Structure 1
Amino acid sequence: MARPKKEKELLHHHQIMLRLTDTEYEIVFEKAKDANLPLAEYARKQVLNKKIVAKYEIVADLPELKKLIAEFGKIGSNLNQIARYFNSGGIHSQEMRNAINQSIARIYEMKYEVLKMAGDFHGNTETHSE
């Protein structure tokens, strides 16, 4: 099946020729790539002062982080079991209260471990330029 045609007013009929040095071209090309846009679309948005959002994906493949994620999963499973127990009419006991408090304490410990691993990173994964 063929791609639907754009409406006439959405078609780009006019061209503007622009000469750039190698350095200027590289800068524009990299910014378009960072914004995940074709070069022409990036240049069009820049010329028309439209907002451009560059998205960066941050990938951390740390064994410590994988271990913490697994621990979060186990704690979540424990909390689900506790909730299921109470929702099915389970008796509130000191043992259950201790299990809940232990899980909450471990979650806070893990939070601080993650923050320590992250170091001073406080940035946003999206950069906006106008």
Structure 2
Amino acid sequence: MNKKRKRNKQIIVRTTEEEYTKIMEKVKISDMTMNRFFINAALRKEIIVYDFTSIFELSAQVSRVGNNINQIARKLNQGGITNKSEVDFLKSSLKNINNVLMEIYKDIQKSQDEA
């Protein structure tokens, strides 16, 4: 080993095929190098792997609500009148966004409790 290296010790770990697959999935999701992942895991630093599906869903919902608000604003600026269904749709959309935010919060809390 090169004496100039800061990390000059090597550890070899043997796993089953199933363990290897699970570890590699976590390494990939964590966006860390394998070396960094193992060092953090071994030193008990918190490694949170989070499924961003709900974040993407939230982003799409926020975008749709923003588009609807813009459409209503254009209509009002042109002297038009909004109807109750448009306002109800916005309220429903905002409620859905709130529900997604609550799920994200619960997932984060669960991840922290398990760590």
CA gap 1:77/1:43 in 2 versus in 1, 3 angstroms = farther
Looking at structure 2, the residues matched to 111 and 66 of structure 1 have their Cα atoms a distance apart, in angstroms, of 14
1:115 paired residue number: 95
Q: How many residue pairs were aligned? A: 95
Counterpart among 64, 69, 72 of residue 72 in structure 1: 69
Unaligned runs of 5+ in 2: none
Indicate conservation of the 8 Å contact 1:36/1:54, yes or no.
Answer: no
2:8 paired residue number: 13
Looking at structure 1, the residues matched to 73 and 50 of structure 2 have their Cα atoms a distance apart, in angstroms, of 31
| Identity in percent | 16
Looking at structure 2, the residues matched to 22 and 120 of structure 1 have their Cα atoms a distance apart, in angstroms, of 38
1:3 paired residue number: none
Deviations 1:63-85 (A, max 9, x none): 9875433122345789xx8xxxx
Q: Whose helix proportion is higher, 1 or 2?
A: 2
Unaligned runs of 5+ in 1: 1-7, 82-98
**Which structure would you say has the larger Rg?**
1
RMSD: 4.0
Of structures 1 and 2, the one with the larger relative CO (CA 8 A, separation 6+) is 1
Query: Which secondary structure does the structure 1 equivalent of 2:103 belong to?
Result: coil
